[in-house]
């Protein structure tokens, strides 16, 4: 019999299943993309911080093997008989065809309703979302990575690296400990010293049992012991040490406001709006990486514009014509009232199917060129339509020619074409 060998394996190979998990995610990409897409539909554009629950029909991940089906003759043994006696007959629940108490029944059927449910992480969620948007690798990395973090002071802890030792606090703790441990003894020491001094000043007693010398000796012994004890109290002890603690926080410049403008006239379908939503999400994710505080303003318009909440923005429908300039005017007013451009970095994303009153499009151009663009960091426009462009597009093309740095536009027929609009944003900034 050999000796047993006991090994601590806890520290190695923690994520052994990560590869297999990724294989699984890869294989069921389609299902997961669908779930992500539904999640995007149901979530707020500012709520991209969590993973998502995905469910796949068990049937789709079923691994088939050869096994028996219902039918034939079986005789099975079970435990826990209560009142059965040999020869008892028990009617079959479904009247006798097929069925059976046979084993394997449970796994036989495809079990249509069963779902395999699992959780994907936020990172995986974004991965699938970006995949959908066909974002280049570098951009994905930028949106997900935590490189724009800074460390901020977050109190003190009792352990840390020597480099983070806070001397003042540690010494203060040590001092407090020394006082609490030594205080009583020191008081007694002072008392003893006084007594000895007093005794020495007195004349010696007659009785040898109370001789001055012996009393001083006794006091001196106690005094020495106390001094030894006090000396043994460490000047600084490990429990006194205090270290600075830091927490990682995003390192944003300051505040940004994001305007979402969308045409909600009858011609914009839910599909259009869902594409638009992805477009807004992407802008939001970008801003989140770069600003500490982000406010989002939703402006929807048909012939008139209105500031609304997100729910109403994406999911209520209107009919009627379209006057885009109404939204631009409203945006301009809101900026002037609430977001002075000295304090706010202003971004805007506009989505529309390109419909506009012809007379209105030149007005839009002028509004943008004269009033809005001078105040904003970046203005992006997507036109979600498979059709010919109309006047608005042409006017906007002029705007783009005049403001190539802060105005971008793109025609989309599905979400994967979004990226070019943002290309400017993700370009490395050269000072």
Partner 1 sequence: MTQPISSGSDWSFELIEEYDREIARIAADFGLDTYPNQIEVISAEQMMDAYSSVGMPVGYHHWSFGKQFMATQKGYRRGQMGLAYEIVINSNPCIAYLMEENTMMMQALVIAHASYGHNSFFKNNYLFRSWTDASSIIDYLMFARNYVAECEERYGVEEVEAILDSCHALMNQGVDRYKRPAPISAEEERRRQKEREEYRQEQVNDLWRTIPDMGGDDDPESQKRRFPAEPQENLLYFIEKNAPLLETWQRELVRIVRKIAQYFYPQRQTQVMNEGWASFWHYTIVHRMYEEGLVDDGFMLEFLQNHTAVIYQPPFDSPYYSGLNPYTLGFNIYMDLKRMCENPTEEDQAWFPDIAGSDWQQTLDFAMRNFKDESFILQYLSPKVIRDLKLFAIADEEGDDAYEIKAIHDDRGYRRVREKLARQYNLSYKDPNIQVWNVNTRGDRSLLLRHTRVDGIPMADDDTQEVLRHVHRLWGFDVVLESVDNGEVKERYRMPPEGGSHNNAA
d(CA 326, CA 367): 10
Per the listing, tokens 């020191």 go with: 186
* Sole binder of partner 1 in the list 46, 51, 118, 182 (CB under 8 A): 118
* Sole binder of partner 1 in the list 37, 41, 43, 116 (CB under 8 A): 116
Binding window for partner 1 (CB under 8 A); candidates: 99-107, 209-217, 321-329, 393-401:
99-107
Q: What is the DSSP letter of 430?
A: P
d(CA 188, CA 196): 12
The three-class DSSP label of residue 37 is: helix
Contact status: 113 vs partner 1 (CB under 8 A): no
d(CA 295, CA 188): 66
Contact pattern from residue 350 through residue 379 relative to partner 1, giving x for each residue in contact according to CB under 8 A and a dash for the rest: ------------------------------
With contacts defined by CB under 8 A, how many residues of the chain interact with partner 1? 69
Contact status: 69 vs partner 1 (CB under 8 A): yes
Please state the closest distance from residue 40 (CB atom) to partner 1, in A.
Answer: 22
Please state the closest distance from residue 37 (CB atom) to partner 1, in A.
Answer: 21
In this structure, what token pair is assigned to residue 236?
Answer: 């600084």
Q: What is the DSSP letter of 388?
A: -
Contact status: 249 vs partner 1 (CB under 8 A): no
Please list every residue from 29 through 68 that binds partner 1, using CB under 8 A. 61-68
CB nearer partner 1, residue 88 or residue 388: 88
Please list every residue from 3 through 22 that binds partner 1, using CB under 8 A. 3-10, 13-17, 19-22
Contact status: 429 vs partner 1 (CB under 8 A): no
Contact status: 27 vs partner 1 (CB under 8 A): yes
- Find residue 261's DSSP bridge partners: 299, 350
Instruction: Let me know: does 56 contact 116? Beta carbons within 8 Å.
Output: yes
d(CA 105, CA 69): 8
- Quote the strand ranges of 320-406, DSSP E: 344-352, 378-384
Contact status: 405 vs partner 1 (CB under 8 A): no
């Amino acid at each position: 019999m050999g000796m047993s060998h006991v090994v601590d394996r806890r520290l190695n190979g923690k994520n052994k299943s990560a590869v297999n998990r990724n294989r699984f995610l890869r294989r069921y990409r389609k299902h997961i993309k669908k779930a992500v897409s539904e999640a995007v539909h149901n979530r707020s554009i500012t709520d991209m911080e969590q993973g998502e629950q995905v469910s796949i029909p068990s049937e789709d991940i079923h691994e088939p093997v050869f096994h028996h089906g219902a039918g034939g003759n079986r005789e099975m043994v079970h435990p826990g008989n209560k009142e059965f006696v040999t020869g008892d007959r028990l009617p079959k629940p479904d009247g006798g065809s097929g069925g059976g108490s046979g084993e394997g029944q449970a796994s036989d059927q495809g079990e249509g309703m069963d779902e395999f449910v699992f959780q994907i992480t936020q990172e995986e969620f974004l991965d699938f979302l970006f995949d959908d948007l066909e974002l280049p690798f570098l951009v994905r990395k930028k949106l997900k990575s935590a490189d724009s973090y800074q460390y901020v002071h977050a109190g003190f802890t009792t352990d840390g690296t020597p480099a983070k030792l806070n001397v003042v606090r540690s010494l203060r703790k040590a001092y407090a400990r020394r006082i609490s441990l030594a205080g009583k003894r020191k008081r007694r020491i002072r008392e003893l010293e006084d007594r000895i001094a007093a005794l020495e000043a007195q004349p010696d007693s007659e009785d040898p049992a109370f001789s001055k010398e012996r009393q001083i000796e006794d006091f001196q012994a106690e005094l020495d012991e106390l001094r030894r004890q006090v000396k043994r109290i460490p000047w600084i002890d490990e429990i006194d040490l205090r270290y600075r603690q830091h927490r990682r926080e995003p390192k944003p410049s300051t505040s940004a406001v994001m305007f979402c403008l969308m045409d909600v006239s009858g011609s914009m379908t839910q599909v259009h709006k869902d594409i638009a939503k992805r477009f807004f999400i992407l802008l939001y994710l970008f801003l989140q990486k770069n600003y500490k505080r982000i406010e989002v303003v939703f402006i929807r318009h048909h012939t008139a514009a209105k500031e609304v909440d997100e729910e109403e923005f994406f999911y209520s429908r209107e009919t009627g014509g379209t006057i885009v300039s109404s939204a631009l005017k409203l945006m301009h007013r809101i900026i002037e009232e609430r977001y002075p451009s000295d304090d706010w970095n202003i971004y805007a994303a506009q989505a529309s199917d390109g419909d506009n009153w012809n007379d209105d499009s030149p007005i839009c151009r002028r509004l943008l060129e004269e009033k809005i663009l001078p105040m904003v960091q970046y203005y992006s426009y997507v036109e979600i339509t498979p059709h010919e462009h109309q006047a608005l597009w042409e006017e906007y093309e002029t705007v783009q020619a005049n403001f190539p740095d802060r105005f971008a536009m793109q025609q989309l027929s599905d979400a994967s074409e979004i990226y070019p609009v943002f290309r400017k944003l993700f370009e490395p900034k050269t000072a």
